[in-house]
Chain A
Amino acid sequence: DAGVIQSPRHEVTEMGQEVTLRCKPISGHDYLFWYRQTMMRGLELLIYFNNNVPIDDSGMPEDRFSAKMPNASFSTLKIQPSEPRDSAVYFCASSFGLGGKNIQYFGAGTRLSVL
C-alpha cells in the first residue's frame, strides 16, 4: 500500500482565502484523523472519523475549520477564511480500529503558510 497520501505538500495563500487540504487513508482503515502541528502547541488532534462519520471534532479551533469524509478513501479539511495564525503543518493519519494495539500511520503532511 502507498500509505496515507496528502495533498498538496505545500500551500501558500493570502489571508482571507479558502484553503482545502486533502487526504487518502490507507485502504481498509476505518479511522481517519486530522492533526495540526506547531512549535508552540505540538501535535493537536483536530477531528477524527470512523467509517466516514465524524466522531469527535472538539479539537477544531473555530467555525472557520470544517472537515468532511464523503467516502472511505477521501477526506478534506477546509479553512475559510484563512488567517496567518493557521500557518502550521497539517497531518492526516489513519488506523484500523481505535485504541489498544491499533497503530496510527501518518501522511507526509501539508505545510500551510498564510500570509
Chain B
Amino acid sequence: QKEVEQNSGPLSVPEGAIASLNCTYSDRGSQSFFWYRQYSGKSPELIMSIYSNGDKEDGRFTAQLNKASQYVSLLIRDSQPSDSATYLCAVGPNQAGTALIFGKGTTLSVSS
C-alpha cells in the first residue's frame, strides 16, 4: 500500500527561526508533491507544489525534493506565530488515474 509518512509533532520553534518539516513516501514512481497548510478548524489550503528534484522557493517557503531518497521537505524561514498550523504532505502517485495520498500532517507551533 502506498504511504506518505510525516512526524506528527508538535514541532515547536521560536519566532524568527527556521522550521523544517519532513515527509517520506513509498511509491518510487511518484510525480507530484504538495504541501497543504491547515489551520485549526479550517480546511487544507495549498501553499507549495514541487515536481522535480531540487529546491523551489516562494517567499519564506522552500520546498525540497529528493526522489532518490523518496523525501520531500518544507522549510519556513523567519517563522511567525501565524505559521502555527498543521502541514499536510500530499503525493501524486505514478499510476494514472490515481488520487493524491496525504500524510497525517505535522503540527507546527511558533512561539513569540
Interface residues of A (CB under 8 A from B): 33, 41-43, 45, 48, 55-56, 91, 98-101, 103-109
Q: How far does the Cβ of A25 sit from chain B's closest Cβ, in whole Å?
A: 14
* A-B pair number, CB within 8 angstroms: 55
CB within 8 Å of A: which of B88-112? 88, 90, 92-93, 96-105
Measured as residues with beta carbon below 8 angstroms from the partner, the interface class of chain B is: 20 to 34
Contacts of A98 in B (CB 8 A): 97-99
Interface residues of B (CB under 8 A from A): 31-32, 34, 42-46, 49, 51, 88, 90, 92-93, 96-105
Contacts of A33 in B (CB 8 A): 99
In the bound complex, what is the Cα–Cα distance between A64 and B47 (angstroms)? 35
Q: Please tell me which one of the listed residues B31, B34, B102 contacts residue A42 in the complex, with CB atoms under 8 A apart.
A: B102
Contacts of B101 in A (CB 8 A): 45
Contacts of B92 in A (CB 8 A): 99-100
In the bound complex, what is the Cα–Cα distance between A81 and B8 (angstroms)? 33
Q: Please tell me which one of the listed residues A41, A43, A99, A100 contacts residue B44 in the complex, with CB atoms under 8 A apart.
A: A43
In the bound complex, what is the Cα–Cα distance between A54 and B104 (angstroms)? 25
- Please state if B43 and A106 are interface contacts (CB–CB under 8 Å): yes
Q: Please tell me which one of the listed residues B43, B51, B105 contacts residue A101 in the complex, with CB atoms under 8 A apart.
A: B51
Q: A42-B104, A106-B43 are contacts. A101–B32 as well, Cβ < 8 Å?
A: yes
- Please state if A42 and B105 are interface contacts (CB–CB under 8 Å): yes
In the bound complex, what is the Cα–Cα distance between A109 and B49 (angstroms)? 23
